[in-house]
């Protein structure tokens, strides 16, 4: 019987020890900072004054951005779209007149030269379709 009591006491102590180990640490409340309490700011040391007097370190030279050319040239695309919209804003009233002038030039004496220039430009293009 005494052996049972000793085992029971030993197991109770083991349970208490494991609970004590697993218990989370109590969190302390943070007190107000020194500045909030009205403390004086820290004095600057001589070393910090010397550091402030030094010239700043040289920065590494800026790397040039790789320019993407071709279908991925986003800057050229933005420039083209901006120029196109600016042209339309400036010449909104004149656009029908410009179209009529272009048709007259194609049908007139300049027509063959303009068509030859268009064919030359189209030969450098990847697609052979002509938008109308």
pLDDT in tens, 94-124: 999 999 999 999 999 999 999 999 999 999 8
pLDDT at 98: 95
Q: Which position has the higher pLDDT, 37 or 87?
A: 87
Please tell me the predicted confidence (pLDDT) of residue 73.
80
pTM of the model: 0.36
Q: What is the pLDDT of residues 11-70, one digit of tens each?
A: 666 666 665 566 566 666 666 666 666 666 666 666 555 555 666 677 777 776 666 666
Count other Cβ atoms within 10 Å, centred on residue 129: 7
Tell whether the model's pLDDT for residue 86 goes beyond 80. Answer: yes
Helix segments in the chain, DSSP class H:
2-22, 34-37, 46-53, 74-90, 95-107, 111-123
Chain-centroid distance of CA 52 in Å reads 33
Instruction: Specify the pLDDT at position 38.
Output: 65
Assigned token pair, 39? 């403390």
Residue 97 neighbours by CB distance under 10 Å: 10
Kindly state the average pLDDT of the residues 70-78. Answer: 79
- How many C-beta atoms lie closer than 10 Å to residue 103's C-beta? 11
User: Can you give the pLDDT at residue 110?
Assistant: 92
């Amino acid at each position: 019987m005494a052996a049972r009591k000793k085992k029971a006491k030993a197991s109770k102590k083991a349970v208490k020890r494991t609970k004590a180990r697993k218990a989370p640490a109590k969190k302390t409340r943070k007190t107000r900072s020194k500045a909030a309490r009205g403390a004086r700011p820290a004095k600057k040391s001589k070393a910090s004054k010397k550091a402030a007097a030094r010239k700043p370190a040289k920065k590494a030279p800026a790397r040039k951005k790789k320019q993407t050319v071709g279908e991925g040239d986003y800057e050229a695309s933005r420039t083209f779209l901006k120029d196109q919209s600016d042209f339309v804003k400036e010449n909104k009233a004149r656009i029908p007149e410009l179209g009529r002038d272009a048709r007259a030039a194609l049908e007139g004496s300049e027509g063959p030269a303009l068509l030859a220039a268009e064919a030359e430009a189209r030969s450098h293009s990847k697609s052979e379709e002509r938008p109308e």
